[in-house]
Amino acid sequence: MSKIGIIVASSNNNLKLGLKLQELAKTVSCEAELINLVDYNLPLYSQVEEETNGIPESVLDLATKIMDLKAFIIVAPEYNGVMPPVLNNAMAWTSRATKNWRDAFNDKVVALATHSGGGGQKGLQAMRIMFQHLGANILAREILTTYEKQLNDDSAVKIINSLVKLSKI
């Protein structure tokens, strides 16, 4: 059975979207591990924080989970036209917890998803820029839901199947 990660940066509507994507993955015989970054309650990354307290065990746990997967769906809301701080912070810590800062995402396949009350396109664009910089191969198709636009299950399943297929190449 194939396995993907669903990295969520929310405890509200984007978490619900992540759980729905996890459910859809099961319908196509794909295991999906949901990783909610909010649950990690990471300290704000800074060089001073790292030098003073080192890399937290929770970051090492997160980095290990990410390293063990080949494909992901990143599910995060748009905050002020970009990604939420919890996502940016977790990726900053993750890049510091690996031997090479790109190790966690380099050559991995990533799909982007958001539930947004304010459009979501800018948040998706910000995530695309960050994960491309980290070395990930980002799918062209994205998942964008709003209060008026619900998830298209067929489209989501196609994206999940693409992740599975491309992560095996």
pLDDT at 56: 97
Q: What is the 3-state secondary structure (H, E, C) of the chain?
A: CEEEEEEECCCCHHHHHHHHHHHHHHHCCEEEEEEEHHHHCCCCCCHHHHHHHCCCHHHHHHHHHHHCCCEEEEECCCECCECCHHHHHHHHHHHHCCCCCCCCCCCCEEEEEEECCCCCHHHHHHHHHHHHHCCCEEEEEEEEECCCCCCCHHHHHHHHHHHHHHHCC
Q: What is the pLDDT of residues 89-133, one digit of tens each?
A: 999 999 999 999 999 999 999 999 999 988 899 999 999 999 999
Q: Which of 8, 14, 22, 24 is nearest to 120 (CA)?
A: 14
Mean pLDDT of the chain: 96
Q: What is the pLDDT of residues 9-68, one digit of tens each?
A: 999 999 999 999 999 999 999 999 999 999 999 999 999 999 999 999 999 999 999 999
Residue 111, beta-bridge partner list: 73
Whether the per-residue pLDDT at 1 is higher than 80: the answer is no
Whether the per-residue pLDDT at 169 is higher than 70: the answer is no
pTM of model > 0.85: yes
Four-point Cα dihedral 4, 24, 6, 166, nearest 10:
40
DSSP 8-state class, residue 142: E
C-alpha 49: how far from its chain's center? 24
